[in-house]
Structure formats: C-alpha cells, structure tokens
C-alpha cells in the first residue's frame, strides 16, 4: 500500500487529520488497533472549546454537533456553600459545547468512509520503520492474519500514551502524578443544571456535567489507587449529594460500571522525530480538570494538517520544522491551566503542602478571588474556552 501520510490511531486526532488532509488534496491511510465499534463507543471527554467547534464546522463535520451538542456560556464554581457563576459569554464573548468524544469520532469515521478514505481497524502488531529516512513505513497484521506494509512520506503518531509512536524514539518526557483520581459515572438521568459545576467540598472535589438532555456525567475525587468495586450505586449517589450540597441531582440507572481515572500530566519533547510527528495523547497528557485533552489533540492536528500540506504539495518544510515548538507553546499553557484548576479544586492530604491548614486557606482565597475579580474570572474564561490554534500562548 502506498500513501502520502500514514496515520496511527483512529481517535479524534488521527481521524480529523486524515479528513483535513483529504480536503487539501493529500492522501492518507489510518491504522487502528481497536475495532470500529470500540472506538465509536468508548466514553471520553465531552467539552469542546470554541476553536474546536469552529474548526469542526469549517471542515464540514459539525452538523450533528450543532444539532445535538449542548452550548454552554459558562460554568459554576461551588464552594463556601454557594454557587459562583463564571459567565464566559460576558467575559470573553464565546463559550463551549458539550458533545461527547465518541460522537466526534462517529462523525469523523462516517466522513472518511463517505469520502472513500481508508481506515484499517483491528490492526495487530503495528510497527514503524525508517522514520529518519524519506521513505518511512508502517507494518501491521490485518484481520485475515496477513502482514501488510504501508509505504508513506510521513507518519503521524496519533495513537495515545500507550501507542507505538511515542516509543519509536526517545523524546524527553516530563511528568507529574497527582495523589487522587476521578470516579466517573454515566447515568440515565436528566441533568438538573444547564452548565457544568465544579465543586470544592470539605469531602473532596466533585464535577457535575452532562452528555445529553437525558444523560448525566458525574465525577468524584477518590484516592488514586481506589477500587471502583468498593462503590455501590447508593454510596455514589449519597456522596454526590453530600459534595454537591444544595444542587438537586436526578438519580438514574448507570449506563456503565463506575471506573477510576488516574490524574497525571505528561509532556514529550520534541513532538517530531525525522518523518514521525506526534499529536494528541501520544505527546502530552493533562488532568481532566481543565477539559483540555481532546482539544489539545485537535489543536495539534490543526497545525499539522497545514504543515503537511505545505510539505507534500508545495515542497516547503517551514511548517513541519516549526511544528513541535508551535504546538508545545499551547501545550504548556494548557498544562499550567489544568494544574491551576486541579490544585484550586481538589482536596489534598494533610501531609501535602496543599493540604495543610495554610494550603487550604490559600486554596479558598484563590477560589474567592476567581469568583469576585473580573480580571481573574476573565483569565479562567479565556483559557477554558480555548486559545487560538497555532497562535502564541
């Protein structure tokens, strides 16, 4: 098989890159280890920044998002037993859209297959070769057990933290692991709020969010090594009621078993090795508090698609040479914002510098300042709704 860009990973980053390249006259093939049904059903992020929404519309894959997504003009912070509204529309003139990552993936797969694109699902033993040459390749075993090879000009590694792309070379990796995780549930229950609520409680952090007018998505801060099996449905609802005090919560059957997501930050530098370009979780991880994961992946792709068009259609390497530095400016801004939100909202243990009486007082001071100062609220709104793709950060 011969193509211009071999893409590893059929998540939002890989699929959107393939779609954008096709619209620019550049051929690609996507290779994915999982089945189509798996990638279309795995529940992940649900908040789309304003630049993400605008890009999906511009690339003509935003119709279902516009029809079914839930626009939000702000969020609320819950602390000191009161709700404090952060009005994005008033502060920065833009908002966000709640639309599940799996829905974005469905839209992109449908668009690629409609347009004759190639997505190789259930590809086993994926390996990358010749990355420092001008003829890299990808090998994999297909569903019939046949070993196949894709010869290409460029490889895009969009296969996440555990994929083969980041392990194909030795970037400098810096990490931070947080001492807690999120216990998440997806419930068949109508939301009682129009916007997300981030709660700082004496019992720990909680997040009230939603996925549709019929489905609520909720999270509880738990220890990083917590066993989700220890949490019965009744215990989860009781704890949510305690941490979201004063906010009515509709209870309903859980659509999936509770799971615990660890909280960590990771950045791999550089995001390029020869003809391999990393994008999304293959290059960086953020804690979910700032709602940045999928949006960062899409921001990477927005830069990479233009750079690859310049390289493969015009013979200019200027964009690909600047790719890593351009993306990392935005990545580090998102890392700082996500760390800020995480430290402001979560309860730390008493042995932590953030969890003693002094640290707790500082945390509440920051929350009160953010909720009362227009300048502080504007900074939160600007970062939460998203900075321009490829711009200074």
For residue 72, indicate whether it is catalytic.
Answer: yes
CA distances for 43 relative to 100, 103, 196, 217, 253, angstroms: 7, 9, 17, 10, 17
Residue with tokens 């893409």: 7
Catalytic residue among 51, 191, 288, 346: 288
Q: Which two tokens stand for residue 65?
A: 């998002």
For residue 198, indicate whether it is catalytic.
Answer: yes
DSSP reduced 3-state for 19 = helix
Chain centre distance of CA 228:
22
CA distances for 12 relative to 17, 30, 103, 166, 203, angstroms: 8, 12, 10, 17, 35
Q: What are φ and ψ of residue 40, in 5° steps?
A: -80, -15
Residue with tokens 């279309």: 40
For residue 178, indicate whether it is catalytic.
Answer: no
Catalytic residue among 198, 208, 219, 348: 198
Preceding peptide of 270 cis, ω within 30°:
yes
Q: Which two tokens stand for residue 112?
A: 């690629």
Catalytic residue among 12, 50, 51, 72: 72
For residue 219, indicate whether it is catalytic.
Answer: no
Catalytic residue among 292, 346, 348, 389: 292
Closest CA to 108 of 71, 157, 59: 59
Cα gap 122→276, rounded to integer Å: 22
For residue 50, indicate whether it is catalytic.
Answer: no
Return the beta strands (E) in the chain as ranges.
5-8, 28-31, 47-48, 70-72, 74-79, 82-87, 96-98, 118-120, 124-129, 137-141, 147-151, 154-157, 172-188, 197-201, 204-212, 215-223, 259-269, 272-273, 276-278, 284-285
Residue 232 burial (CB count, 10 A): 10
Catalytic residue among 99, 178, 208, 384: 384
Catalytic residue list: 72, 198, 288, 292, 384
């Amino acid at each position: 098989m011969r193509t211009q860009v071999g893409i590893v990973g059929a998540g939002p980053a890989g699929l959107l890159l393939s779609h954008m390249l096709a619209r620019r006259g550049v051929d690609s093939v996507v290779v994915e280890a999982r089945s189509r049904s798996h990638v279309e059903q795995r529940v992940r992020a649900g908040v789309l920044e304003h630049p993400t929404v605008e890009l999906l519309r511009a690339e003509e894959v935003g119709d279902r998002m516009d029809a079914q997504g839930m626009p939000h003009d702000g969020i609320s912070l819950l602390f000191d037993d009161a709700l404090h509204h952060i009005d994005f529309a008033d502060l920065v003139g833009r908002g966000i859209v709640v639309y599940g990552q799996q829905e974005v993936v469905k839209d992109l797969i449908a668009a690629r297959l409609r347009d004759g694109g190639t997505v190789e699902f259930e590809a086993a033993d994926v390996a990358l070769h010749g990355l420092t040459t001008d003829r890299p390749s990808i090998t994999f075993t297909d569903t019939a057990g046949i070993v196949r090879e894709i010869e290409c000009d460029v490889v895009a590694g969009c296969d996440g933290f555990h994929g083969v792309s980041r392990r194909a070379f030795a970037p400098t990796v810096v990490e931070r692991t947080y001492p807690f995780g999120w216990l998440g549930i997806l419930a068949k229950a109508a939301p009682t709020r129009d916007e997300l609520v981030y709660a700082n409680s004496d019992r720990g952090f909680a997040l009230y969010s939603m996925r549709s007018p019929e489905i609520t998505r909720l999270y509880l801060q738990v220890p990083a090594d917590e066993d989700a099996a220890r949490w019965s449905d009744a215990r989860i609802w009781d704890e949510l009621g305690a941490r979201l005090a004063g906010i009515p919560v509709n209870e309903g059957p859980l659509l999936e078993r509770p799971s615990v997501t660890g909280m960590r930050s990771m950045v791999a530098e550089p995001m390029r090795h020869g003809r391999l370009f990393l994008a999304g979780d293959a290059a960086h991880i953020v804690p979910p508090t700032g709602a940045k994961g999928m949006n960062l992946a899409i921001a990477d792709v927005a830069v990479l698609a233009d750079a690859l068009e310049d390289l493969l259609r015009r013979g200019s390497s200027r964009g690909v040479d600047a790719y890593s530095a351009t993306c990392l400016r935005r990545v580090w801004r998102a890392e700082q914002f996500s760390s800020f939100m995480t430290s402001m909202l979560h309860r730390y243990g008493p042995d932590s510098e953030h969890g003693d009486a002094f640290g707790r007082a500082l945390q509440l001071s920051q929350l009160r300042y953010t909720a009362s100062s227009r300048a502080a609220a504007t900074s939160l709104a600007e970062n939460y709704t998203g900075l321009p793709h490829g711009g200074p950060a």
